[in-house]
Amino acid sequence: MNPLLAGAGGACAALAAAEVVALLARPATVAVLSAMLGPVAVIAQRGRAATHQARLLLGALVASTGFLLLALAGHPWLGLAVAAAAPAGATFLIRFRLARWRSQMRSGAASAALAIGEASASGLGGVAGIERASFDGAVPATVATELQDLATRCRLGLSLEDGLQELRRRAGAGPWDAIVAALLVQRSVGGDLSKILGGIASGLEASARARAEARSLSAQARLTARIVIAMPLVGVALGEVASPGTLGRIVASPVPRALAASALVLQLLAVVAVRRAARAGGPRR
């Protein structure tokens, strides 16, 4: 009887899954899901600040997904803990995505300055020079997309000054402050833009080389720190392999559980400390 019930249950589950897939494939369902999840897809995209609605939606999505997965795996209390930590996790994801985009913008600032300067030297200034620079092969894709978008919006009526200021705000503190300032000052009082941007690009490249050298000099120390941080985790894994159930016995007892939690907190603090110590200057936004 049990095999028959199991087979019937499997058949019902398959039919239910087919109905869910059919429901999700409907245009109306796709439109509703797109409207609901649209704000999440563009969170911190291209340096734009996340709206309050998008933050709430991302937090709810992370909380519900984590709770359901862990509850189905038989760990509802752990699922509740993950759901409680969802807002912090959502904030971390937003900041990580924004920081990654800004890092790409900073790394491509020197090549963008050179490209705009070369366009200015060839007689193309303002919007035309920015548009020409966006097609330069030396400019990274992220920066080229921003320059092309800026030129397009200026063609449609946006003032160049407003567009540059918006780009500077989204890119955060760093090299784009100097590039935008040079463009605006040259636009107001004139001057050799190619020479100005060439000097800015040289300074940015020298700064990037200095950071790279500093990171290479500290590479061995950072590797050693990471190995030391990983040793307790490797020890726990080896202990579990050598004696299955060790981790379960540790978690089951109050005192070992408290010590393990304290060790985990110290491990996380060590990771943060190593990352901060290994950071070779530069803007942190």
Give the 3-state secondary structure of residue 190.
coil
Instruction: Name the DSSP class of 159.
Output: -
| pLDDT of 210 | 86
Percent of the chain with pLDDT over 90: 26
Whether the per-residue pLDDT at 30 is higher than 60: the answer is no
Instruction: Specify the higher pLDDT residue, 270 or 135.
Output: 135
| pLDDT of 174 | 86
Q: What is the pLDDT of residues 121-139, one digit of tens each?
A: 888 888 999 999 999 888 9
- Contact at 8 Å (CB) between 35 and 54? no
Q: What is the pLDDT of residues 135-185, one digit of tens each?
A: 988 899 999 999 999 999 999 999 999 999 999 999 988 899 999 999 999
Instruction: Specify the higher pLDDT residue, 28 or 259.
Output: 259
Which span out of 195-199, 232-236, 266-270 was modeled with the highest average pLDDT? 195-199
Dist. CA 4–CA 158, nearest whole Å: 69
Dist. CA 183–CA 119, nearest whole Å: 13
Q: How many CB atoms lie within 10 A of CB 96?
A: 11
- Place 49 in a pLDDT band, splitting at 50, 70 and 90: low
Residue keyed to tokens 């720190």: 225
| pLDDT of 82 | 77
What ranges do the domains of the chain cover? 8-98, 108-215, 219-278
Dist. CA 273–CA 267, nearest whole Å: 10
Does pTM top 0.95 for this prediction?
Answer: no
| pLDDT of 85 | 81
Instruction: Specify the higher pLDDT residue, 24 or 117.
Output: 117
* Mean per-residue pLDDT, 11-16: 67
Q: Which residues contact 172 (CB under 8 A, 6 or more apart)?
A: 47, 102, 105, 283, 285
**What length does the chain have?**
285
Cα dist. 12→6, 111, 206, 246 in Å? Answer: 10, 60, 66, 39
Dist. CA 146–CA 127, nearest whole Å: 13
Dist. CA 15–CA 146, nearest whole Å: 47
Q: Among 81, 32, 86, which residue's Cα sits nearest to residue 56?
A: 86
